[in-house]
Amino acid sequence: MKLRITPLNIIGAIGLGLAAFNILSEKDTAPRQVDMSGFYLLILGCLILVTFVTDLIFRFTLKDLKRIWIVESVFILFTAILILIIQKLT
């Protein structure tokens, strides 16, 4: 199996690293650490799962690596813009 790095893999790995760091770190020793409660960690875990599943769907539908990068980058950009719009409305 050929290893292909994609934008959604990178985003998922960053999210997984952030979740692991917040779970494994001590809460009292890092005063500037982002405080993530259990609910936010659950949401982050769900988003990581969605990113990996979405990446698999894109990999099975698109075979060309260049096209996967373009489609996934547009998907990430569209999702970020949509999140910002929803955040401004509420």
Reported as a single tens digit per residue, the pLDDT across 33-82 is 666 677 888 888 999 999 999 999 999 999 888 999 999 999 999 999 99
Q: Is the per-residue pLDDT at 2 higher than 90?
A: no
Q: Residue 30: its pLDDT value, please?
A: 56
16, 48 contact by CB (below 8 A)? yes
Residue 16 pLDDT > 70? yes
Structural contact between residues 1 and 30, judged by C-beta atoms closer than 8 angstroms: no
pLDDT for residue 5 is more than 80: yes
Residue 1 has pLDDT above 80, yes or no: no
8 Å CB contact between 7 and 70: no
